Chains A and B, each alone.
Chain A
Amino acid sequence: MLFRPSRRVLSVSLDIALLAAPVLLIVQARNIAGAVWLAPMVLRVTLFGRVLAAQWLALALARGLARRGGGWPCLLLCAAVTGLQVLHLHGYAMEGRLGPLTASDLLHLLAGAAWLGGLLPFALALRGLPVTPAAALTRRFSRLAMGCVLVLAVTAAYQGTVMVGSARALAVTDYGWTALAKLALFGVLLGFALRNRFRLLPPLGSGGAASTRALVRSVLTEAAVGLLLVLLAALLAALPPSMVMEEGG
């Protein structure tokens, strides 16, 4: 059974995603097919539409499970929705099949979702816990976060090499600048994660409730920075990759 504040975050997140998908379909129908009323056709004949339909169905199933307290099937469905997102991204479009770039995108999305997606529920869980279990939870979350950071760093380095193309492209294209800004925010997040683990965690045992409050504040700030990073990731997904622009002249 899911911790109650986390269950609320899960339910609200799924509700927003369930509502956002049809809105996205309508916006994209107007964008790529030229008219809102062509949305059913876009849903039926395009890869974008079919993948979005699969994501919506998985979200609806996850929402049903969330009402009964979540559980592993709910988590797996949410991970599937996140994983399917790779079929909307540059990597898959450039490869035209499931290749190394798509695999890297998949790992990057799942690691980012596990780390950044876990921050808010982590902070809410900390708030309701006595000091000892709060310290244990922080240690456990730190282990998960460090694993995710490693995956994110390796996959980002690979994607950066392929998508940005060259040091010059990094400096002169919007894609390169956005990638640099994302890297800077990643550094800030890493700083927060290290501060939480090595500066704010040790005094939990002796500092009592005040130490827990400081840690919760820090994790909430980290979550806000994480949201900014997700927005930058969305912008990167919309910008033409530098190497494509250089190739196109």
Chain B
Amino acid sequence: MSRLFLTIAATLALSVAPAVPGFAHALLRASDPATGSTVAGAPKQVSLSFSEAVEPALCRVAVTDAAGRAMPVGSPSGDPHDARRLRLPLGPLPPGVYTVTWHAVSVDTHKTEGHFSFTVAP
């Protein structure tokens, strides 16, 4: 009896499917501030919610103003309550239009990127 089951171990290790890089998976589901929204007062952070859990250490998020100048931001961090969410602390943002450009890596090792804009009302 044991021989049959022990022989199964033979190719268990080989059954591990290799990860193939190159396809996008983690899509942006929602953000705060939301895409195209106008907020009263400068937000303290940008929150991004993806369709898949992400690796915060490998994600990059940048915020630029209408002239394309990079705004001061902190490092993206994960949300301990939801592995699909990423948070980015923001420096002070004067009124204006801002573009958030993000590059995400999901935990199943796939890369995706995108951008959206929001406005800080005067």
Chain A interface residues (CB < 8 Å from chain B)? 2-3, 6, 9-10, 13-14, 16-17, 20, 24, 27-28, 31-33, 41-42, 45-48, 55, 59, 62, 70-72, 74-75, 78-79, 81-82, 85, 87-90, 92-97, 109, 112-114, 116-122, 125, 137, 140-141, 144, 230, 233-235, 237-241, 244, 247-248
Contacts and interface: CB of A to CB of B under 8 A. Distances in A.
B57 A233 contact: no
Contact of A92 (B18, B108, B111): B108
Contact of B6 (A13, A31, A70, A137): A70
A71 B6 CA distance: 6
A87 B107 contact: yes
Interface of B: 1-27, 29, 51-53, 55, 57-58, 82-84, 105-111
A46 B20 contact: no
Nearest to A97: B83
A169 to B, nearest CB: 15
7 contacts: A2-B3, A13-B10, A32-B109, A79-B9, A117-B15, A238-B21, A244-B25
A60 to B, nearest CB: 11
Q: Tell me if A's interface is mostly helix, strand, loop or mixed.
A: helix
Contact of A117 (B12, B22, B52): B12
A59 B11 CA distance: 12
A137 B4 CA distance: 8
Given A79-B12, A121-B7, A247-B27, 6 more contacts: A16-B14, A20-B18, A90-B108, A234-B17, A238-B20, A244-B27
